[in-house]
Structure 1
Amino acid sequence: MEVRYANHPDDYKLYSTDTLRKHFLIEKIFVKDVANLIYSHIDRIIFGGIMPVDKEIELNNAARELRVKYFLERREMGIINIGNDGVVKVDGIEYRLKNKDGLYVGRGAKDIQFKSIDKENPAKFYVSSTPAHASYPTVKIEISKANPVKLGNLETSNERTIYQYVHPAVCKSCQLLMGMTILEPGSVWNTMPCHTHDRRMEVYFYFDMDDDTRVFHFMGEPQETRHIVVANEQAVISPSWSIHSGVGTKNYTFIWSMAGENQDFDDMDFVDTRTLK
């Protein structure tokens, strides 16, 4: 499990492009037959990719690094499959996840395995996990059962649908919020005017992009912005003090995961675009 440490906004202002990418960008999410996980000291979120091909992947293999008996002993987890059909087995119960199906797994689930239905066309499970103080039931969340929120329009190049998976409108969780945003063809902006939410951090995982498509992920304090160029199936850690916004060379899809003080999706401090620097 790779560890990423927290960064002070004053330090970040001095970072070169390479240093910025080193601390905030994860360039490789999916690795064959590996639970490729990243542990961020920002709100103790764990995220990453699980791509079973030739074998089932047992999540508890990562528990040793957390100094717990099993991975979700003190955590909860959200899963969204962005690949082909796969199965997640939770304490003996199998949940078949098609493309863009999700699963919430509550604290206390002990045995968790991941497998693909067809090794030639493997599943790709994107996972996010946060510390949890209570246990809630495991819930399968097909995209048809996620809560859709349509925002933006073509005039501002940001027509998109936000699918809320792990969210109070869909299922109970302790602090994890997780969902997926799909931009319509012709739309490239996510959230402009941009915003911060000092009470919650966020991780963005970008996918469904062409090989030559790039997203310019904007971050930093509103008067000291930077950008990170992101390719397909890469992720960015966005601290709570950072603006949350991005623009692509073409439409794209991303999974967002949040951890922090509350579960109020609308808890955003919007920034006047005229004040950005």
Structure 2
Amino acid sequence: MVTLPLPDLAQDRCVVMGVVNVTPDSFSDGGCWFDPGAAAEHGLELVRRGADLVDVGGESTRPGALPVDRAEELRRVVPVVRRLADAGVPVSVDTMWAETAEQALDAGAVIVNDVSGGRADPRMVPLVAAAEVPFVVMHWRGHSDRMQQHTDYTDVVDDVVSELRAQVTAVCEAGVDPARVVVDPGLGFSKTGDQNWTLLGHLDRFAALGHPLLVAASRKGFLGSLLADEAGPRPVDEREDATAAISMLSALAGAWGVRVHDPRRSADAVRVAARVRAEAAGG
């Protein structure tokens, strides 16, 4: 397992990143934590439920979502980051925009999680390089309002690995320390449900890139489709067992972290996986 230079995280196992969406329209819990005070308290509850760090975002990236004005994103995100950081919680900021990342870092965030991998805002990579913080580089082909128009691949695993490797190379050549880069295959971003499953079946290919691997499958639509019955896809808030199963598989595949909405089951799963991996390695 590849680790990050973050001494506050216990990295002898896969870490659990809890999600706080300070948005009215996120697919899982849009509107639930729109008030900054409620969002911060939810972040603390995620830690109590087993999250090692908390990822705070103010712009939905669900398929079809529209961009958010920067001033509004800042209003949503920065107070929550500050409250959590002041409480001693390691915080990641989920944003594509350098201005938001900069103010979140000033407020105490320690990781920048950019679903565009630095491609949406040309100021992002120089900012992260200068700040010397970990940077999550996700596979990305376009903004949410059009990303599902870009699901054509010759071989989805080969193509996503190749495109992600090229983006990591570009980020590092622009000054980001390779030891601080985290890779994310971008499940659900310019991928069909079947393509998500194919990528999950080949997580070893992403781990082989030599950077910490983050897997973000929590509650996503392809899980709802898998678990569908005569009433239709499994509701979003009833996908936690499936999410925990993917957390277990990700941890066994050597992932650095999993990003989840409700950490309790996944926190248990990654600990079980760590014990199994230790036994397989000889104790």
TM-score band by shorter chain is 0.3 to 0.5
Q: Per residue, is there more helix in 1 or in 2?
A: 2
Instruction: Give TM-score scaled by structure 2 length.
Output: 0.35
